Amino acid sequence: MKPDSDILKSEKNLFINYKAEFILLLVTLAWGLSFPLIKLTLADVSPVLFNFIRFAVTLLLFIIFFYKKIKHVKYIDLKYGLILGVFMILGFVFQTIGLQYTTASKSAFITGTNLIFIPFIQFVILKSKPKYFNLISALIVLTGLFILSESFEIIPNAGDILTVICAFFFAVHIVLLDKYSAKSDVNFLIFGQFLISTVICLFFAFFYEHLILDEMKFSVTPILLITLFFTVIFSTLIGIVFMTKFQRLTTPLKAGIIYNMESIFALIFAYFILNEIMNSNQIIGAIIMLIGLIFSEIFGIINFKNLIGKKN
C-alpha cells in the first residue's frame, strides 16, 4: 500500500499542475484581448513593424527588471532560448503575413491546427506518446474551432499555406519549450526568446515591409499607445514569462489545448470592443471547445486516481 505521505505529495503535485494550467489559461485570455486591440491598431502601424516595437520594448523592460539574473549569461546558457525564440517569432511572422491574404476566421482555425502537429513532434523530439484522452480532447477542440471559425469548404490560398507553416512553428515551440525547460534557467530561456524575436522582427520589418512591399507605416495614436502598452506588459512580457515558467508543469498537447482557448476569448472581446456579433456557429463552436478542455481535465483527474489506486 502506498504511504499516506506519498499520496499527499502526489495530490500536491496534481494541485500544482492544475494551478499552472489555470495560469496558462489566464495567459490565453490576455492573448485573446490583444486580438481586437491589434486589429484596431493595424490602421496606424504595419504588422511586422508593430511586432518589432512590441518585442524591442519587452526586451528592454526584461533587461531592466531581471538584469541581476541575466548579467552573467553566456551563449551556452542562452542557446536554448534563442532556438525557442526562432520558432516562436517565425510563427508570429508567418501568421501576420498570412493574415493579409486570408480571412481572420480561416487564420484562427488553421493556427489552431498546431494540435495536429504536436503529438507527432512530441513523439519525435521527446520520444513520448500523448495520453489517449488528451488526443480525444484535441480532436474535440479542433472540431469546435472549425465550427467557431466557420471555415467550411476551405479553398486554400497563399495566406492559408503561410498560416499552416505558422501553426507548425508554434507546435515545435510548444514541444521544445517542454524539453528545454529542464535544461536551462527559465530567465535565460525568456531572455533568449525576446532577444532573437526582436532581431528577426527587425529583419522582416526592414527587408519585407520596407524594401519589398514598401508598405511600412507608423502613426502615433491613442489606440496604438494603449495596444502597445497592453501587448508589451501583459501579452508578451508577463504572458511569455508565465508560459515559459509554467508550461513545463503540464504536457505539450494539453498546453496546446489550453492555448487554443485564445480563439474563444478573442471572440468575446471582439464582441465588446469591435461590436462583432457572435452567431450560432461561433457560440456552438466555443461551447464544444470548452467541452474538449473540460474533458481533458476530468479524465486527467480520473487517470491520476486510477494510478493512485493501482499503487495502493
Give the cell for residue 286. Answer: 466555443
Q: What is the pLDDT along the chain (312 residues), one digit of tens a residue?
A: 455 555 555 566 767 888 999 999 999 999 888 888 888 888 899 988 999 999 999 999 999 999 999 988 888 889 999 999 999 999 988 887 887 777 666 677 778 778 888 988 998 999 888 778 778 888 898 888 778 766 665 566 787 788 889 989 999 999 999 999 988 899 999 999 999 999 999 998 999 889 998 889 999 999 999 999 999 999 999 999 999 999 999 889 889 889 988 888 888 888 888 887 778 887 888 888 888 888 877 776 666 555 555 555
Distances (CA, A) of 155 to 103, 105, 118, 152: 12, 13, 24, 9
According to DSSP H, which parts of 71-185 are helical?
75-99, 104-112, 114-126, 132-149, 158-180
pLDDT in tens, 212-251: 988 899 999 999 999 999 999 999 999 999 999 999 998 8
Q: 103 φ, ψ to 5°?
A: -85, 160
CB 291 within 8 A of CB 140: yes
Q: What is the pLDDT of residue 149?
A: 67
Q: What is the pLDDT of residue 230?
A: 96
Quote the CA–CA distance of 196 and 301 in Å, as a whole number.
Answer: 38
The dihedral of CA 32, 241, 219, 103: what is its sign? negative
Q: What is the pLDDT of residue 62?
A: 97
Quote the CA–CA distance of 85 and 92 in Å, as a whole number.
Answer: 10
Q: What is the pLDDT of residue 1?
A: 47
Residue 87 exposure: Cα atoms within 13 Å on the Cβ side: 18
Q: What is the pLDDT of residue 303?
A: 62
- Which residue in the block uniquely carries the three cell numbers 489506486? 309
